[in-house]
């Protein structure tokens, strides 16, 4: 297993060909909210794989909301956009990829968080992906519900707060948790 942890980009490569990566990038402030930006980013990822000339047989599922797998450090669900696809790589092996994308636009420092798990089809493990995501919770997120992060509202769907807001009040959304991760999936402990 090989680990990389540099400038908000963390990656774990396993000998079976599986790769888990978690990235945190600063995001330009936007008048569009969390849902709009997260949907756009998820669709952009799907499009980039479809257009990649080094890949073939790309088959994607439509991006969808997921509140089951990504959590904050207190164990509260964080709504993300989930992307799933299969493709044939340059090495002529078939791969399966699952990604989770979330843009936090209402935090003091807006950020784009992405978690990606890709493996050769025969090595893909939903349980391993779940373990890796559990080992890399988000610290200091903005609103848990993407609709709460819509521009100017600060409230849940239909203008009602549903109490799903989590994290600290310092307005920072960060991927790292500071928790020990003996599996090596590592998100750094950097704060933006």
Position 158 scores a pLDDT of 33
Q: Establish if 178 belongs to a structural domain.
A: no
Q: Establish if 192 belongs to a structural domain.
A: no
Q: What one-character DSSP code corresponds to residue 142? A: S
Q: Which domain holds residue 72?
A: 2-154
Is residue 83 within 8 Å of 99, Cβ to Cβ? yes
pLDDT bucket at 168, cuts 50 / 70 / 90: very low
Domain at 54, CATH number: 3.40.1000.10
Query: 3-class SS at 140?
Result: coil
Give the pLDDT confidence of 52-105 residue by residue, as tens digits.
999 999 999 999 999 999 999 999 999 999 999 999 999 999 999 999 999 999
Main-chain dihedrals φ then ψ at residue 137, nearest 5 degrees: -70, 160
Pairing mode of beta strands 94-104, 64-66? unpaired
Position 1 scores a pLDDT of 58
Position 116 scores a pLDDT of 97
Q: Establish if 179 belongs to a structural domain.
A: no
pTM (2 decimals)?
Answer: 0.76
Question: Residue 130 and residue 169: Cα distance in Å, rounded?
Answer: 28
Is residue 72 within 8 Å of 167, Cβ to Cβ? yes
Q: Establish if 9 belongs to a structural domain.
A: yes
Whether the predicted pLDDT of 44 surpasses 60:
yes
Number of helices (H), then strands (E), in the chain: 2, 8
Q: Establish if 190 belongs to a structural domain.
A: no
pLDDT bucket at 9, cuts 50 / 70 / 90: confident
* Sole residue written with tokens 């989590």: 166
Mean pLDDT comparison of 48-52, 156-160, 165-169, 176-180, highest-scoring range: 48-52
Q: Establish if 39 belongs to a structural domain.
A: yes
Whether the predicted pLDDT of 126 surpasses 60:
yes
Q: Establish if 172 belongs to a structural domain.
A: no
Q: Please count the structural domains in the chain.
A: 1
Whether the predicted pLDDT of 118 surpasses 50:
yes
Q: What is the mean pLDDT of the chain?
A: 80
Residue 116 pairs with which residues in a beta bridge? 21, 99
C-beta neighbour count of 88 within 10 angstroms = 16
pLDDT bucket at 151, cuts 50 / 70 / 90: low
């Amino acid at each position: 297993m090989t680990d990389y942890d540099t400038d908000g980009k963390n990656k774990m490569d396993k000998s079976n060909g599986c790769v888990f990566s978690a990235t945190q990038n600063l995001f330009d402030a936007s008048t569009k909210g969390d849902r709009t930006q997260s949907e756009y980013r998820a669709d952009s990822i799907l499009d980039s794989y479809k257009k990649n000339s080094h890949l073939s047989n790309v088959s994607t599922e439509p991006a969808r909301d997921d509140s089951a797998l990504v959590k904050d450090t207190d164990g509260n669900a964080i709504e993300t956009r989930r992307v799933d696809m299969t493709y044939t790589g340059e090495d002529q092996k078939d791969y399966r990829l699952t990604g989770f994308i979330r843009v936090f636009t209402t935090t003091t420092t807006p950020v784009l968080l992405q978690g990606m798990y890709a493996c050769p089809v025969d090595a893909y493990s939903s349980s391993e992906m779940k373990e890796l995501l559990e080992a890399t919770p988000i610290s200091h997120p903005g609103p848990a519900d993407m609709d709460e992060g819509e521009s100017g509202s600060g409230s849940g769907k239909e203008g009602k707060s549903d109490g799903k807001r989590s994290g600290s009040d310092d307005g920072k959304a960060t991927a790292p948790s500071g928790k020990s991760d003996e599996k090596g999936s590592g998100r750094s402990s950097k704060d933006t």
